[in-house]
Structure 1
Amino acid sequence: MTSLTEREVPLTGARIDLPVAGGGWRTVELAEPREWAEHPGPYRSRVAFAAAHVAADPWGENVPGAPAAVDWDATLAFRRHLFSYGLGVAEAMDTAQRNMGLDWVAVQELVTRSSEQARAHDARIAAGAGTDHRTDLVSVDDVLAAYGEQVEFVEGTGAQVILMASRQLAAVAAGPDDYLRVYDELLRQVREPVILHWLGEAFDPQLRGYWGSTDIPAATETFLRLVSAHAAKVDGVKVSLLSAEHEIGLRAALPAGVRLYTGDDFNYPELIRGDGDQHSDALLGAFAAIAPAASAALAALDDGDLARYDAELAPTLALSRHVFAAPTFYYKTGIAFLAWLSGHQPGFTMVGGLQSARSVVHLSEAFALANTARLLPDPERAAERFRGLLAVAGAAR
């Protein structure tokens, strides 16, 4: 089967001039929008979550250090968009700017509102529980108490708990035993199986040495000790180290019944596809940007059509790798940018002013790659919006 990148992409006849590094320009012809089939139910072959961003209130004081002002209508509408393609929502994660502008007051309202909406749509939702609401944590006991407060809150909303990696634990832990102590206690307390989240240094430099070592094999050994001891309370593990080799080895070592939710936004097509014996499920920020294509690919997997699966995801990979390029922790800017281009929010604004974290040259390449993948529902409207942004940036032609 010919891949989508090898087919002749139908064009609208309209064009946009995009700035490139060094002061030059290139002309991109706008592709015809594709009619993507909705898939409101879950998939048979894989469990898939999209880690969703929040849309900022354009009238809000969303400047660095200020409390988050959220556009709730746009934020919740975006979650309905994800539900319509059969994706669960991983709520209040790093994609939603946890530790980068989304404060605890906003987190609580976000998880409460999203959980209510998920119930109304019979959709799956999991939400992050961490320790970021406290700034006075100086001991392992403090961290454990803070985790317990957030776990209790998330469970109270009806969302599945995702135990997020804690900057505060990374700061106070003396070694692997401190990590095991905290997570052992939490996993004894939770009511239902959770998702464990191992977020790598590329996504948050303050998590360097998580699980008690900067040596990944040693950290993995500690992680596996924990999972094996509490397999009945672990639905799955979400690993974001951007190493396909590590993920393949880790999922082979997991206890039976524990899922590996890939967080590898560089290699997700091969990891979700699997090798015939094992596969990864998905919990990806990238899926928020490519939801229609992800849906088409997962539907193909359900049908056993691997060639169509490959073809559906092939054009999305270059876009994801660009959005998540170093410094990777600014990928949220690309997710919000693509949502704005696609009409899912009224403006390209982010809490904490994070829309400034990527250059117009970077965003221009994101526009071009989304266009190639035919992920812009209205390419001419997207081009009009982007031309306005280029003009404000002083990069209009």
Structure 2
Amino acid sequence: MTLHLPDAAGGLRAYEPRTEPFAAATGAPLASRTVFSAAHVVADPFADASPDAPAAVDWDATLAFRRHLWSHGLGVAEAMDTAQRGMGLDWPGAAELIRRSAAEAKAVGGRIACGVGTDQLTDRDPGRSAPVTLAGIRAAYEEQLAVVEESGAQAILMASRALAATAQGPDDYLEVYGHLLRQAAEPVILHWLGPMFDPALEGYWGSADLDRATAVFLDVIAAHPDKVDGVKISLLDARREVDLRRRLPNGVRCYTGDDFHYPELIAGDEQGFSHALLGVFDPLGPLAAEAVRVLDTGDAAGFRALLDPTVPLARHLFEAPTRFYKTGVVFLAWLAGHQSHFTMVGGLQSARSLPHLARAYELADGLGLFPDPKLAEERMRVLLSLYGVTS
């Protein structure tokens, strides 16, 4: 049946939903690329929680979604910004998420890496300027690193708002990261998250000049190459990622975090390729896994034929202000039947407009991302009716 979807101009347009989903098989881990999906958390819709209260998580639905990703051969990147770290999920909630997900990964044989940050320093007052000393930042990182390592998961050293606010220059980054890498039990993933994802990270690595920042980032890696499994680059700049990828020491992987250019970066060129750690692979999981399996056979053209058509959806979900992409990700999980409601921790379901959500539905439906297109259509009708669309 025809849906009437709102557009950005304030009108309604007719849309005929797809009737058959994209058919993606579950299977073993992928071979030619290491691929992580940064996964969202499912809120408990019946919790009496205010936006400032600790997150109330539906643990059963949250862990079921991770099993869904593992079943398709993807790794899970846990407690990252996709899970609303710093935007609704505080450190105690993230620590519980890490422990639960790592135990689940062990039970099903899934790959997992977990975010290590310093958000316990600013959870209660996100607007303050962070601790005075680097020692406090090191201690916060160490506390979180211990939780991840004790869980048996790989660590992802995330960018720190507190460090961005406190560091006086590149030397402070070299000191803090060097301290952490020396004590890490196993090689970690370093995460460079750009200010489009979090404005508080402007000037990370000691400079707003990206060439200077890149030089510092590479200095951190060069000093401890045996402790760096790879780097996740989330700058939405494909040229810069390729340049950095070519400058990494042998054995250090590049994990693309570029939700705009991921097909070309994963496919690579004659000088190398990127692995992946992507928030957009939360809604794209089965299709992305199918594409990488095609790439595993050496068929780069077939890989691009599957994944290139997903880019318009990714660019839509991650359009500015980019940090609110989580709303579209959770919205699509609801339409796909991975959760029973469209509620987010911190009330973030209100962060995108109805025309934005309608376009996300249309693009995702066109790709066949919904296992039950009829269910997605029915849920879209419910949402439209709540906004007063009656036809």
Question: For 1:61 and 1:85, how far apart are their aligned partners in 2?
Answer: 35
Q: Which amino acid aligns with 1:38?
A: A
Q: Residue 250 in 1 paired to residue 244 in 2?
A: yes
Tell me which residue corresponds to 1:395: 389
Deviates more, 1:15-24 or 1:313-322: 15-24
User: What value does the CA root-mean-square deviation take over the aligned residues?
Assistant: 1.0
Matched with 1:109 is: 96
* Other-structure match for 1:7: none
Post-superposition shift, 1:139?
1.1
**Shift in Å, 1:392:** 1.4
The answer to whether the 8 A contact 2:246-2:271 is kept is no
Q: Does 1:140 align with 2:137?
A: no
SS at match of 1:31: coil
Q: Quote how far apart the aligned CAs of 1:367 are.
A: 0.4
SS at match of 1:308: helix
Q: Which amino acid aligns with 1:37?
A: A
Residues 183-241 of structure 1 show CA distances to partners (whole Å, capped at 9, x for unaligned) of 00000000000000000000000000000000000000000001011110000000100
Match of 2:187 in 1: 193
User: 2:272 maps to which residue?
Assistant: 278
Structure 2 CA distance, aligned partners of 1:62 and 1:20?
A: 32
1:178 aligned to 2:165? no
Matched, 1:79 2:36: no
CA–CA separation in structure 1 for the residues paired with 2:341 and 2:292 = 30
Find the partner of 1:352 among 319, 336, 346. 346
SS of the residue 1:56 aligns to: coil
**Per the alignment, in what secondary structure is the counterpart of residue 256 of structure 1?**
coil
1:364 is the counterpart of 2:364:
no
1:347-374 deviation digits (Å, cap 9, x = unpaired): 0000000000000000000000001111
Partners of 1:203 and 1:301 lie apart in 2 by: 29
> Match for residue 219 of structure 2?
225
Classify the secondary structure of the residue corresponding to 2:77: strand
| Displacement after TM superposition at 1:62 (Å) | 4.0
- Residues 146-190 of structure 1: CA distance to partner in whole angstroms, max 9, x if unpaired? 111110111010110000000000000000000000000000000
| Cross-structure match for 1:124 | 111
Q: 8 Å contact 1:348–1:355 — kept in the other structure? A: yes
Q: Is the 8 A contact 2:22 2:367 kept in 1?
A: no
The aligned amino acid for 2:277 is L
Report the identity percentage. Answer: 58
Partner of 2:303: 309
Distance 1:61 1:223 in 2: 43
The reply to whether residue 382 of structure 1 matches residue 370 of structure 2 is no
Query: Which residue of the partner structure matches residue 54 of structure 2?
Result: 67
State the secondary structure of the residue aligned to 1:228: helix
Q: Which runs of 5+ in 1 are unaligned?
A: 1-13
Paired with 1:381 and 1:36, the residues of 2 have a C-alpha distance of: 16
Encode CA deviations 1:78-114: one digit per residue, 9 max, x unaligned: 0011001110000000000000000112111111110
Q: Secondary structure at the residue paired with 1:27? A: strand
Q: Is the contact made by 1:175 and 1:213 (CA closer than 8 Å) also made in structure 2?
A: yes
SS at match of 1:288: coil
For residue 98 of structure 1, what is the aligned residue in structure 2? 85
Is the 2:257–2:276 Cα contact (8 Å) retained in structure 1?
yes
Counterpart Cα distance in 2 of 1:188 and 1:394: 58
What amino acid is aligned across from residue 245 of structure 1 in structure 2? Answer: R
Aligned 8 A contact 1:38 1:84 in 2: no
- The answer to whether 1:288 aligns with 2:282 is yes
Q: 2:30 aligned with 1:43, yes or no?
A: yes
Q: In structure 1, what is the Cα distance between the partners aligned to 2:296 and 2:270?
A: 14
Q: CA deviation at 1:63?
A: 3.1
The offset of 1:142, in angstroms, is: 0.9
Distance, in Å, in 2 between the alignment partners of 1:302 and 1:197 is 26
Match of residue 148 from structure 2: 154
Deviation sequence 1:231-273 (CA, Å, 0-9, x none):
1000000010000000000000000000000000000000000
Partners of 2:197 and 2:352 in 1: how far apart?
Answer: 15
Give, in whole Å, the separation in 2 of the partners of 1:189 and 1:61.
Answer: 41
**What is the CA–CA distance in structure 1 between the aligned matches of 2:49 and 2:305, rounded to whole Å?**
40
- TM-score, length-scaled by structure 1: 0.95
CA shift for structure 1 position 37: 3.0
TM-score with structure 2 length normalisation? 0.96
Q: Distance in 1 between matches of 2:142 and 2:170?
A: 20
Match of 1:269 among 263, 269, 286: 263
The alignment covers a number of residue pairs equal to 384
